[in-house]
Amino acid sequence: MSSRRTFAIISHPDAGKTTLTEKLLLQGGAIHLAGEVKARGQARRARSDWMKIEQQRGISVTSSVMTFERANPDGSTITFNLLDTPGHEDFSEDTYRTLTAVDSAIMVIDAAKGIEPQTRKLFEVCRLRSVPIITFINKVDREGRACFDLLDEVADVLALDVAPMSWPVGMGGLFQGALDLATGKISRPEGDSREFLGKVEDAGALPPEVAEELELAQAGYPEFDLEAYRGGDLTPVYFGSALKNFGVAALIEAIAAFAPPPRPQPADGGEISPDRDEVTGFVFKVQANMDPQHRDRIAFMRLVSGTFKRGMKLTPSGLGKPIAVHSPILFFAQDREIADSAEPGDIIGIPNHGTLRVGDTLSERNDVRFTGLPNFAPEILRRVALKDPTKTKQLRKALDDLSEEGVIQVFYPEIGSQWIVGVVGQLQLEVLISRLEAEYKVEAVLEGSPFDTARWLKGSDQALKDFADFNKMNLARDRDGDPVFMARSAWDVGYQQERNPDLTFSATKER
Ligand code: G4P
């Protein structure tokens, strides 16, 4: 069986994702990065700082993919690939796409807050793809809500079975450790900091209220079931404290023992298994302008099948002719390292000059097309106006680049010159303005657009032409030149759909 575990952490801001990431990496031996992850988490909280960080692209890139290893008792090793999901308040396409590249996820919940909006959205994305979830209820070293409350909330809100795997012995000031329900051992806090420093004891006699809780819990919740977890129907739940290091080792064990190895991926003509001998993969993220002096990009490819070797020739679906991948990058926690080979589940960074795009398939024989990396219909549309009208060419280039990167979507109307950008979250607009200025020296303002949403159109040439005859004012082309209906309202979409049964109006577009 494969030794790779490729996963992401999903959470609402402030639940403790950065702290947990840091602790996982510390346990995995990637100590150097710990400070870096922390620095990033702090910066992210202040939006202006975050912009600065984003502009120093290096940091977010090295921590986009974090790799650590753990030796098994039998001497084999397990390699963990932790993919960072951008932690912005707004849901972004970037986040969604990253989740298409993982095989499982850890959901971090703040014990005082329970399930928050972002947790829920990200969970729904995981569910769409049946990505199994391990739940970590964080911050039990502080006063939080009752364990039953939290477990029931996860079960009700997310419609999942919950199987508690550990239990806090007291919370907040009364916290006396975390009980592992499988072994009956308690991890104890030590010293002034009340951290877990390795002290593990037999549970012995528990405080009566805890003993009572446990009895109820064991009667009230199902036992862990591997198949139900892997099918996305059940989540094992760990209580812990990332800050004080409780439950972190248990999470690593859980991922090693339960999380699925690299999964087959959906493609035109059927799933591609990791056992296929051909090297295949897909690009789920492109990061541009990492070095402002050179307009280079890194395309992040998730390897789906085969053993990748440096120098190998792969054909990107968007290009049709092979490229030699001479200097691929494996994103190790501390450092970038040149990859000599990589296995299914690994992520490879491929430097390029804009030839590789999000959603591209790469394969040795150019005979595979992965599906399921959609663009989403934007929820916010804005017209882009230039402060200096002579900069049209630069603006077009910038909008093309940034849409390629997945920062925004761009729509060029058939009539008129009012280019429109679409995003799914407000923050993306701020990123757009800041990057236009910093990287393209283009000052732009965003104005209201008459349109409310957009739908990709599909149908015969004739059906499209008939539609265009009546609706030219509402037609645009996206970056690929594909036709898009710009709608004034959701009602407008429904109305046109009814009148044009030969066309499909799609809220997502798969490349
Ligand atoms: P995020 O990436 O999910 O946004 O969260 P992050 O790890 O940055 O944590 C948010 C805040 O919660 C931080 O406090 C962090 O120290 C705290 N925290 C994380 N895990 C735990 C935990 O297990 N117990 C307790 N008590 N706190 C935890 P902050 O005050 O906002 O930042 P800082 O100044 O402490 O860094």
Please write the tens of the pLDDT for every residue from 383-421: 999 988 899 999 999 998 888 777 788 999 998 878 999
* Residues 89-95, mean pLDDT to the nearest whole number: 63
Average pLDDT for residues 200-217, to the nearest whole number? 92
Tokens of 395: 């603006």
374 lines ligand 1 (CB under 6 A): no
Ligand 1 touching residue 242 (CB < 6 A): yes
Q: Read off the pLDDT of each residue in 362-370 and give the average, rounded to a whole number.
A: 93
Give the CB-side neighbour count of residue 423, counting CA atoms within 13 A. 22
Contacts of 121 (CB under 8 A, 6+ apart): 91
138 lines ligand 1 (CB under 6 A): yes
Is residue 333 predicted with pLDDT exceeding 60? no
Nearest ligand 1 atom to alpha carbon 21: 7
Residue 338 has pLDDT above 80, yes or no: no
Q: Is the CB of 41 under 6 A from ligand 1?
A: yes
**Region of poorest pLDDT, from 16-25, 37-46, 160-169, 482-491:** 37-46
Q: Tell me the domain boundaries of the chain.
A: 4-257, 280-363, 374-510
Same fold yes or no, 280-363 and 374-510: no
Atom 14, ligand 1: which residue's CA is nearest?
14
Residue 281: beta bridge partners?
Answer: 303, 362
d(CA 274, CA 262): 7
Mean per-residue pLDDT, 227-248: 96
Binding site annotation covers 139?
yes
Atom of ligand 1 nearest to the CA of 15: 3
Q: Is the pLDDT higher at 101 or at 84?
A: 101
Q: Which residue's alpha carbon is at the smallest distance from atom 11 of ligand 1?
A: 14
Plot region of 296 (φ>0 → left; ψ -120 to 50 → alpha; else → beta): beta
From 19, 84, 239, 245, mutation site for ligand 1 pocket: most ligand atoms within 8 A of C-beta: 19
Does the beta carbon of 23 sit less than 6 angstroms from any atom of ligand 1?
A: no
Helix and strand numbers (H, E) in the chain are: 14, 31
Residue type, position 78, single letter = I
pLDDT at 31: 40
Among left, alpha and beta (phi > 0; psi -120 to 50; other), residue 270 is left
**Fold (CATH) for 4-257:** Rossmann fold (3.40.50)
Count CB atoms within 10 A of the CB of residue 47. Answer: 12
Spacing, Cα 402 to ligand 1 middle (Å):
32
SS3 19: helix
Q: What digits encode the pLDDT tens for the residues 135-177?
A: 999 999 999 999 999 999 999 999 999 999 999 999 888 899 9
Ligand 1 centroid distance, CA of 18 (Å) = 8
Q: Would the annotation count 244 as a binding residue?
A: no
* 349-372: average pLDDT: 87
State the pLDDT at residue 319: 78
Query: Higher confidence at residue 40 or residue 347?
Result: 347
pLDDT exceeds 60 at position 44:
no
Instruction: Determine the residue of 10, 14, 171 to mutate for testing ligand 1's pocket, defined as the one with the most ligand atoms within 8 A of the Cβ atom.
Output: 14
Place 375 in a pLDDT band, splitting at 50, 70 and 90.
low
Q: Across all residues in the chain, what is the average pLDDT? A: 85
CA 416/CA 174 separation, integer angstroms: 67
Give the pLDDT score at 53: 36
Determine whether the shortest distance from the Cβ of 241 to ligand 1 is under 6 A.
yes
Query: So what's the pLDDT on residue 251?
Result: 96
Q: Is CATH 1.10.3720.10 correct for 280-363?
A: no
**423-475: pLDDT as tens digits:** 877 777 888 888 899 889 999 999 999 898 899 999 999 999 999 998 999 99
| This prediction's pTM | 0.78
**Sign of torsion, CA 203 204 207 212?**
positive
DSSP, res 28: T
123-128: list long-range contacts, CB under 8 Å, 24+ apart: 123/10, 123/158, 125/95, 125/96, 125/99, 126/10, 126/99, 126/232, 127/158, 127/232
pLDDT at 330: 66
pLDDT higher at 290 or 451: 451
What ipTM score was computed for the predicted complex, to two decimals?
A: 0.97
Tokens of 356: 């590789």
Residue 295 predicted with pLDDT over 80 = no
CB atoms within 10 A of CB 230: 17
Alpha-carbon distances of 318 from 172, 357, 448, rounded to whole Å = 54, 8, 33
Query: Which phi and psi angles does 188 have, rounded to 5°?
Result: -105, 145
- Read off the pLDDT of each residue in 215-221 and give the average, rounded to a whole number: 93
Amino acid identity, residue 190?
Answer: E
Burial of residue 491 (number of CB atoms within 10 Å: 0-12, 13-18, 19+) = exposed
Spell out where 4-160 has E strands: 4-11, 65-71, 77-83, 104-110, 133-138
Question: Architecture of 374-510 per CATH?
Answer: 2-Layer Sandwich (3.30)
Ligand 1 centre to CA of 14 (Å) is: 6
Average pLDDT for residues 119-143, to the nearest whole number?
91
Q: Whose CA is nearest to atom 21 of ligand 1?
A: 243
Give the per-residue pLDDT at 54.
40
Local confidence band at 326 (pLDDT 50, 70, 90 cut-offs): confident
Looking at residue 384, its pLDDT comes to 94
Query: What does the block give as tokens for 29?
Result: 């031996």
Of the two residues 31 and 248, the one the predictor is more confident about is: 248
What percentage of the chain has pLDDT greater than the value 70?
Answer: 86
Rounded distance from Cα 20 to ligand 1 centre (Å): 9
